[in-house]
Amino acid sequence: MSTISPQVLLKAYSAGIFPMAESASQNWLYWIDPEKRGVLPLDGFHLPRRLSRTVRSGKFTVSVDKDFERVIEACARSTDTRESTWINGQIRVLYKQLFQLGCCHSIETRLEGELVGGLYGVRIGGAFFGESMFSTVTDASKVALVHLVARLVTGGFTLLDTQFVTDHLRQFGVVEITREDYHELLQSALGVEADFHCLPLDAPPGAVLQAVSQTS
């Protein structure tokens, strides 16, 4: 597919499909519907003790939807450990449009005022589809993930889709399920009236950790 609208993209997510490009320099997008899907059960999130201490310390300043474009740009950027990404120009334009419609969100982490980590994803009903994350400082993206989980739990979400399973995500409890099982979870989540903004934007670290502890 060479062109796609935000509305079609939302319908695709509702059907369990998401787009990717071969690389950031590739103009074409492809629909992906994996046989195996990665999900992070919101009732089984694992928070490592060291990371819990980092969150509690308030080392990072965390914000929501304050710097979406810079987050997706950072996620698309090549690094020393990641030569290429699947986020091309069309992806960036599409998700910016979804952000403007209120269907896409970012969580940012800053250290001494500098953006050092974050993530973004799509929200429909009680489902959140995690797209990508980045970090230039140790634990920056992990703290963003903790805040995301706290927000989803507080807001009544039932599905956090990570698309795939990686060693990085396994430490938080991400599991791999079949396409059929995923579609069942998705259809159930789409009917849930969840609230992404239920957790106050200025929620202190203690409140974030308390929300996450409910999942253990």
How many alpha carbons fall within 13 Å on the CB side of residue 212? 27
Q: Could you tell me if 86 and 22 are in contact, meaning their C-beta atoms sit under 8 angstroms apart?
A: yes
Distance CA 99, CA 131 (A): 13
Distance CA 23, CA 86 (A): 4
How many alpha carbons fall within 13 Å on the CB side of residue 37? 26
pTM for the model stands at: 0.94
All structural domains of the chain, each given as residue ranges with its CATH number in brackets, are: 6-213 (3.40.630.70)
Residue type at 172?
Answer: F
Residue 2 has pLDDT above 90, yes or no: no
Tens digits of residue pLDDT in 132-145: 999 999 999 999 99
- What are the CA-CA distances from residue 187 to residues 13, 16, 126 (Å)? 11, 9, 10
Q: Could you tell me if 186 and 153 are in contact, meaning their C-beta atoms sit under 8 angstroms apart?
A: no
Tens digits of residue pLDDT in 82-132: 556 778 888 999 999 999 999 999 999 999 999 999 999 999 999 999 999
Name the pairing type of β-strands 104-111 and 114-124: antiparallel
